[in-house]
Amino acid sequence: MKKIIMLVGLLVFLFSPLSVLASVDKSEKLRAFLDEAVDQYNIPGASLAIIENGEIIFENNWGALSDGSTITGDTPFLIGSISKPITALATMMLVEEGRIDLEEPIETYLPSFTYKSESPISVRHLLNQTSGISAADGFEITDRASADWTISEAINQLSGVELVSEPGEVYKYNSANYTLLGGIIEAVTNETFSKYIQDHIFSPLQMDDAAADYERAVQKGLVPGYASWWGNPVKSDSLYDHAGAPYGYMSASTNDLVNFLQFMMDGGDLLSEESLALLTTHPGEVGKYGLGWHFSKTEHFPFHGGSTPHFRGELFFLPEQGIGAVLLTNKHHIMEDGNVYYIMDGIRSILNGEEPNLPAPSYLVQWVLLGILLVILLFTISHIIKLFRTKNPNKKLAYTVGSISIVLAAVLIPLFGLFIGTPWRTIKLFAPDIAFLTHCVVGVLGVYGVAAVILISVKSRKQV
């Protein structure tokens, strides 16, 4: 008996301290890694929580909000497209109740909405981003700040859209799909989208700081985030799309999303095991998006990122390991979109006992645009000076160059938006420094063109 007790004691001594030390070591690595990442990417405020088998194994917060208040696990952030898995959950709950059919054409629920296609768009097509609605058309109804803008109005504006592919054939990520889902939820429940989400998801899951409408979000403590200019945070005005909750304008804290992740892994009263499994099933050959979730290309675990012009977040879970994590930050720029993903990838590496990698930020596009601006500026100044000083300038050449400059100034911004498939309004919201530099290039070209044409005209009259 004495030997057995000694053996048990030896095992406790050998293994328990090592397990504790391993956990402490990972926590220290996570904290050091996030300290480095927040500093390297110049993130003003961040909140991270990691869960394993129902327990929070790591949580920490960095920095502050734009009003100077300290960030905690209960601080709400706009969560961007992390809203989509929540909308997908709401849709599946209504499917289980028999009020929505995944294979039913969407006009069953939205009879006034029309689109040009030989095949119908089903509810499933909206969920897995294969509706055939183009991203460009989606941009036209998203990220609008008007208080009068509603889900119904957004859907009415989208109505009549011509599809770029047949429904179900091509994956094309598009937030408009989830705006339509929001409209369907309102139609079948006869409630506002925000009320349904609040009563049937946020409250049951004890997501106490979450909101799906602006008024409640502000009441819960949401404050504006930061735009990014060359990586530097610049306090922004509050931008909230009042029709955007279904696709990207819900607000929540890390503690809220921990509860959501816990439900996604363990289930609960909101949804049957079969329906929950369907939500987290890999889509197979058509795209990489399931019913509200992205899936890793290699390990096939569910994840989702989310961004608004001034917030960026990421969450994932590993069902087999019972591990999930959520990271929320209060700064965003479209060219820095990968930064939070890199941080999350590093977190997964640390959890797997591997060394994390943190790529350096790049501002190549901004520097290239600045270089183009300076070259054009130097050219225009030198050329205008030359025109002033030359008694008999080449009029034909000056008129041609000046006219080309005016034309370029007129078409550069539309062509830029057309080339990247994004409206200029969206570029200004998500890349303000790039938009500013582009405006400067357009301004210099326009001023030079007009000045050159006027100067040559004046000199021509004097010579006459």
Query: Using one digit for the tens of pLDDT, what is the confidence trace for 103-142?
Result: 999 999 999 999 998 899 999 999 999 999 999 899 999 9
H runs (alpha helix) in 203-337? 214-219, 254-266, 273-279
Q: What is the pLDDT of residue 127?
A: 97
CA dihedral 251, 255, 261, 267 (to 10 degrees): -110
Do 331 and 186 have their domain in common? Answer: yes
Q: Does the residue 12 lie in any domain?
A: no
- In a domain, residue 16? The reply is no
Tell me, yes or no, whether 196 and 265 share the same domain: yes
* Domain identity same for 150 and 255: yes
Which pTM was predicted?
A: 0.89
Average pLDDT of span 70-83: 97
Give the pLDDT band of residue 153 (cuts 50, 70, 90): very high
pLDDT exceeds cutoff 70 at 5: no
Distances 271 to 83, 95, 306 between C-alpha atoms, Å: 18, 10, 24
**What contacts 92, CB < 8 A, 6 or more positions away?**
271, 275, 276, 278, 279, 291
What pLDDT is stored for residue 320 in this prediction? 87
Token pair in block for residue 36: 């480095």
**Coil/strand/helix, residue 251:** strand
Q: Are residues 336 and 404 in the same domain?
A: no
Please list, in sequence order, all residues whose beta carbon lies within 8 angstroms of the beta carbon of residue 239, skipping any fewer than 6 positions away.
143, 145, 224, 308, 309, 310, 429
Measured CA to CA, the distance from residue 178 to residue 195 in angstroms comes to 17
- Phi/psi for 17 (5° steps) reads -60, -40
Say what the pLDDT of residue 229 is. Answer: 94
Last residue of a domain, one of 320, 351, 382: 351
- Least confident interval from 151-165, 192-206, 270-284, 415-429: 415-429
- On the 0-12 / 13-18 / 19+ scale of CB atoms within 10 A, 194 is buried
Report in angstroms the alpha-carbon separations of 209 from 73, 182, 202, 205, 390.
Answer: 10, 21, 9, 11, 69
Q: Tell me, what CATH number does 256's domain have?
A: 3.40.710.10
- State how far the Cα of 279 lies from the Cα of 264, in Å rounded to an integer: 9
- Show Cβ contacts of residue 6 under 8 Å, excluding neighbours closer than 6 positions: none
Binning the chain into helix, strand and coil, the percentages to the nearest 5 are 50, 15, 35
In angstroms, the CA 168 to CA 150 distance is 27
431 in any annotated domain: yes
Interatomic CA distance for residues 121 and 184, integer angstroms: 13
- Which domain-ending residue is among 297, 316, 351? 351
Predicted confidence at residue 20, as pLDDT, reads 36
Q: Is residue 3 part of a domain?
A: no
Q: Is the pLDDT of residue 448 over 60?
A: yes
Contact 324, 317 (CB under 8 A): yes
3-state SS class at 307:
strand
Both 284 and 340 in one domain: the answer is: yes
Kindly report, residue by residue over 286-309, the tens digit of the pLDDT: 667 999 999 988 888 999 999 999
Domain of residue 222: give its range: 22-351
Tokens representing residue 437 in the block: 């530099």
Phi-psi region of 291 (alpha: psi -120 to 50; beta: other; left: phi over 0): beta
The reply to whether 316 and 422 lie within a common domain is no
Percent share of the chain, pLDDT over 90: 65
What's the CA gap between 316 and 50, in Å, rounded?
10
- By three-state DSSP, how is residue 252 classified? strand
Of 290, 319, 351, which marks where a domain is finished?
351
Domain count, the chain: 2
Tens digit of pLDDT for each residue in 332-382?
999 998 999 999 999 999 999 899 999 998 888 888 888 988 988 888 888
User: Residue 217: is its pLDDT beyond 50?
Assistant: yes
Model confidence at 8, in pLDDT bands (50, 70, 90)? Answer: very low
7, part of any domain = no
Q: Is the same domain home to 247 and 137?
A: yes
Nearest-angstrom CA–CA distance, 455 and 397:
13
Q: What is the mean pLDDT of the chain?
A: 89
User: Which residue, among 337, 326, 345, has the nearest Cα to 73 in the 3D structure?
Assistant: 326
The answer to whether residue 14 sits within a structural domain is no
Q: For residues 434 and 416, what is the distance between their CA atoms, to the nearest angstrom? A: 11
For residue 116, the cross-strand partners are 162
* pLDDT value at 9 more than 60: no
Residues 327 and 398 in one domain: no
Tell whether 376 and 347 lie within a shared domain: no
| Structural domain includes residue 358 | no
Task: Indicate whether 423 pLDDT > 80.
Answer: yes
The percentage of residues in the chain with a pLDDT greater than 70, rounded to a whole number, is: 93
Tell me, yes or no, whether 45 and 167 share the same domain. Answer: yes
Burial label for 420, CB within 10 Å (0-12, 13-18, 19+), is exposed
Whether pLDDT at 13 is above 60: no
Model pLDDT, residue 389: 77
If asked whether residues 370 and 333 sit together in one domain, one would say no
Same domain, 379 and 233: no
Please indicate, yes or no, if residue 6 is contained in any of the structural domains. Answer: no
